[in-house]
């Protein structure tokens, strides 16, 4: 029988879309390069990756694992048992699958998998999306071969010799949104002569942002602003009646994000790593309202990395009541400020991130040598 040269690639990352979608993007790029490669994802058994990864066409296996909460809870008391169970399960998965390379994109599920992979000497790479790494990637950074990052200054947390600045994987359909403006205005039935505000709170929704938008709908009318409001699936039933309001559209999801970005003149968004990377490519004026409820206050740090370059505005949740109307009105009234923010954020875009990360994976594969398999 003729032996066929193939790669086996294992990926882990999840808990949120910010960890899942980069892993899927990397897998898609590697699949385009190595059509005969076998892929296996490993995630947390009760999180959204168990649904999203199969939808993308990949097999996934689950671990009984969860993160550590920053306060004493019963959930934390179960963590040691979950960690041991997940390490044992990860060892079985790796022994059976025999991967040529292991890739982690963050989230607690990637910890046990990459721990076992590095212990077994399997070439490994992690991708850190945030400007301030989470606990899992900080631990793994000492053991993996390469660390792909999206921000400068991460040698504070990782061995400098392993760092490669690639950026975060983004949707490829965002690269030419300037050519889609007319289609976007038509798709969203936008009125000419009005500014368009796009509001993004993530797929589930952001409670505080939704409360703000509801409160400010009349104010937006005075600013000649029409609103495309993605409130998230958790909040759609609460806010869907506003969809009948003049100059307001309410969506649980936005399936055509490229057209939503193309239609927008201004954007209000959380500051998750993937969102920040996308917004840099989009190049529109952004007001970040970071979630204060994420580990290590990642979102504020992500936003500040952009704000410090005069490339976006930031309003903390605690300051919305006092600051929002003034700062939004000033932005709407200043085409010069809009231009500065748009040009500066565009300079931060790293549009080839997926390709560059896959290049690093390919180097690891070839350095390790191709394994011949029947």
Per-residue pLDDT tens digits for 1-31: 333 458 999 999 877 777 888 899 999 999 9
CATH of domain 4-170+352-373: 3.40.50.2000
Beta strand 266-269 pairing with 313-314 = unpaired
Torsion on CA atoms 180, 184, 190, 191, rounded to nearest 10: 20
Cα 358 to Cα 80: distance, rounded to the nearest angstrom: 34
Torsion on CA atoms 54, 60, 64, 70, rounded to nearest 10: -70
- Residues ≥6 apart with Cβ < 8 Å to 163: 147, 149, 154, 155
Q: Report the 10 Å Cβ neighbour count for 55.
A: 8
What DSSP state is assigned to residue 194?
A: S
When mean pLDDT is compared over 37-46, 51-60, 134-143, 355-364, the highest value belongs to: 355-364
What DSSP state is assigned to residue 157?
A: T
When mean pLDDT is compared over 64-78, 86-100, 131-145, 259-273, the highest value belongs to: 259-273
Q: Where are the CATH 3.40.50.2000 domain residues in the chain? A: 4-170+352-373, 172-347
In contact, 277 and 261? CB cutoff 8 Å: no
Q: Average pLDDT of the chain?
A: 89
What DSSP state is assigned to residue 254?
A: -
In contact, 214 and 239? CB cutoff 8 Å: yes
Alpha helix positions (H), 8-78: 17-33, 49-55, 74-77
pLDDT at 2: 35
pLDDT at 176: 87
To which residue do tokens 């797929």 refer?
A: 203
More confident residue, 35 or 367: 35
pLDDT at 113: 92
pTM here is 0.83
Does 158 score more than 90 pLDDT? yes
Instruction: Tell me the HSE value of 213 on the side-chain side, using a 13 A CA sphere.
Output: 33
* E strand segments, the chain: 4-5, 8-12, 38-44, 60-63, 101-104, 124-128, 146-149, 163-165, 195-200, 225-230, 248-251, 266-269, 286-288, 313-314, 372-373
Does 138 score more than 70 pLDDT? yes
More confident residue, 314 or 74: 314
For 315-364, what is each residue's pLDDT tens digit?
Answer: 999 999 999 999 999 999 999 999 999 999 999 999 999 999 999 999 99
Beta bridge partners of 44: 63
The closest of 78, 70, 64, 133 to 104, measured between CA atoms, is 133
Tell me the pLDDT band of 290, cut-offs 50, 70 and 90: very high
In contact, 364 and 146? CB cutoff 8 Å: yes
Per-residue burial over 32-52, b = 16 or more CB atoms within 10 Å of its CB, e = otherwise: eebeebbbbbbbbbebbbbeb
Cα 102 to Cα 130: distance, rounded to the nearest angstrom: 20
Tell me the pLDDT band of 68, cut-offs 50, 70 and 90: low
Q: Could you give the C-alpha distances from 251 to 198, 287, 289, in angstroms and in order?
A: 11, 20, 19
Mean pLDDT of 205-232: 95
Q: Which CATH architecture has domain 172-347?
A: 3-Layer(aba) Sandwich (3.40)
To which residue do tokens 């070439």 refer?
A: 123
What is the secondary structure of 71-126 as a DSSP string? S--HHHHTHHHHHHHHHHHHHHHHHHH--SEEEE-SSTTHHHHHHHHHHTT--EEE
């Amino acid at each position: 029988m003729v032996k066929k040269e193939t790669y086996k690639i294992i990926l882990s990352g999840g808990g949120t879309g910010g960890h899942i979608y980069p892993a899927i993007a990397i897998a898609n790029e590697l699949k385009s390069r190595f059509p005969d490669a076998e892929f296996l994802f490993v995630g947390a058994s009760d999180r959204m990756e168990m649904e999203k990864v199969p939808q993308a066409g990949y097999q996934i296996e689950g671990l009984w694992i969860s993160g550590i909460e920053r306060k004493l809870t019963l959930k934390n008391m179960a963590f040691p048992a979950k960690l041991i169970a997940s390490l044992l399960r990860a060892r079985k998965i790796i022994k059976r699958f025999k991967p040529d390379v292991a890739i982690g994109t963050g989230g607690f599920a990637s910890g046990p998998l990459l721990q076992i992979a590095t212990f077994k000497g399997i070439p490994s790479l992690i991708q850190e999306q945030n400007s301030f790494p989470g606990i899992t990637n900080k631990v793994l950074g000492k053991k993996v071969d390469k660390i792909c990052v999206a921000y400068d200054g991460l040698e504070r947390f990782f061995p400098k010799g392993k760092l490669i600045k690639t950026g975060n994987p983004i949707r490829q359909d965002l690269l030419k949104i300037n050519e889609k403006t007319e289609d976007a205005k038509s798709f969203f039935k936008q009125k000419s002569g009005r500014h368009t505000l796009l509001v993004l709170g993530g797929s589930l929704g952001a409670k505080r942002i939704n409360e703000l938008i509801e409160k400010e709908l009349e104010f937006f009318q005075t600013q000649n602003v029409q609103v495309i409001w993605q409130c998230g699936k958790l909040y759609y039933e609460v806010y869907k009646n506003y969809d009948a309001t003049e100059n307001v559209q309410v969506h649980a999801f936005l399936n055509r994000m490229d057209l939503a970005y193309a239609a927008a003149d201004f954007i209000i968004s959380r500051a998750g790593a993937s969102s920040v990377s996308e917004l840099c490519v989009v190049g529109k004026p952004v007001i970040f309202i970071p979630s204060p409820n994420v580990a290590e206050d990642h979102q504020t740090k992500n936003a500040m990395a952009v704000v410090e370059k005069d490339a976006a505005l930031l309003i903390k949740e605690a300051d919305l009541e006092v600051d929002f109307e003034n700062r939004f009105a000033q932005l709407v009234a200043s085409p010069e400020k809009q231009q500065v923010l748009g040009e500066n954020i565009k300079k931060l875009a790293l549009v080839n991130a997926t390709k560059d990360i896959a290049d690093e994976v390919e180097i690891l594969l070839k350095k390790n040598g191709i394994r011949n398999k029947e």
